Amino acid sequence: MKSGFVPDFFVPLLFNILIHMNKGAFNFKQIKPLHPLLALFPSGHYGIEHGYRVFRLVDKVCDFQQVGDEQRQTLKICAFFLDIGRDENQLDLNQGIRTYRKLSQNKYLDKAILQTELCRFLIETQSLNIEEVDKHLDQYKIENRSETIFLFKILKDASALDAFRFGNFCAADLQFSNSRKLVLYASQFYKRNLRQDLIVREMENWLKDIQ
């Protein structure tokens, strides 16, 4: 961590500490702990705001591609948690494996939808290029390969749509022409001031309804 840098998720905690210190006696029991859902996410570019945007973007891509409810729910839950395994915002081939391992250490992997081979595949292979995906399918017990690759492409596009903010985004790299219609929406969505507490509340409620 760079000197002088305070991650977003520490700000409410530090603010709370300062308030109590200014009031006099300081007691750590008075400090509200970090929400466990928020604690799953890294700081920086791939925090919970990013997960939420990809969650919303994958839903939009599913609208265009006419994806059914069951597949849509699978993609949305994968999209939300997709980057929790990132290490200091760096891309590497093991980040998906770390993400799935991190989920296994938390209550979220108790959900049946995340225990499927499809979810494991979509999460563990997202750092791969589309050309590399087919050969990795043999490592998973998945029968419908064409459908799986189709869903992989949707998730890849949703994630890419939130990556334009880094300045190296190219719409031509998107897998589906329909995804290119969402570039303006993605740019406007990124500029919105997303509140972490509202994201946590919305996603908690959504996750409660997912089996």
Q: What are the tens digits of pLDDT across the range 160-194?
A: 999 877 766 778 889 999 999 999 999 899 889 99
Decide if 149 contacts 133 (C-beta within 8 A): yes
Query: ∠87-49-34 over CA atoms, to 5°?
Result: 75
Structural domain spans, the chain: 1-34, 37-208
Q: Residue 98's pLDDT is what?
A: 93
First to last CA, the chain: 37
Tokens of 26: 């300081």
Backbone φ, ψ for residue 54 (5° rounding): -65, -35
* pLDDT tens digit sequence for 19-75: 444 545 545 444 455 788 999 999 888 999 999 999 999 999 999 999 999 999 999
